[in-house]
Homo-oligomer: A and B are copies of this chain.
Amino acid sequence: MGFREHLREVCERVEGAIACSLMGVDGIEVDTHLVESDDLDVKSLLVEYSGVLRSAREAAEVHQAGGVSEFAVSTERLTAVARLVSPEYFMVLALRPEGNQGKARFVLRVTAPKVRAEL
């Protein structure tokens, strides 16, 4: 089962999913499964959020809070839930605001080790 299959499966299991990406922490996209596309440029936004994840990681390191494992941002139009797969890669799921964020966190948590096994 390749990366793309895992990304598709995550989208299928979470109500309100718009897209799921595997990305480098440096912001380089490895692969994305896109469920729907509207005028919002989801891919670019997720790339931008990788910068936010890096800032969170730096803040946590400075204060000895340990490595960042998970990260979420909700805006009026989209919720993004990210989970570290390895120190260098993360999966991020974009949801409609009314999507199920708890389910998103759960599905990413169980999928991350499967994706890590393929890196």
Residues of A within 8 A of B (CB): 39-41, 44-45, 48-49, 51-52, 55-56, 59-60, 62-79, 101-102, 105
Q: Are B45 and A52 in contact (CB under 8 A)?
A: no
Chain B residues closer than 8 Å to A44, beta-carbon distance: 63
Chain B residues closer than 8 Å to A78, beta-carbon distance: 65-66
| Chain A interface main SS type | mixed
Q: Which residue of B lies closest to A41 (CB)?
A: B63
> How many copies of this chain are found per oligomer?
2
Contact with A45, one of B63, B73, B101 (Cβ below 8 angstroms): B63
Q: Are A71 and B69 in contact (CB under 8 A)?
A: no
Q: Are A73 and B68 in contact (CB under 8 A)?
A: yes
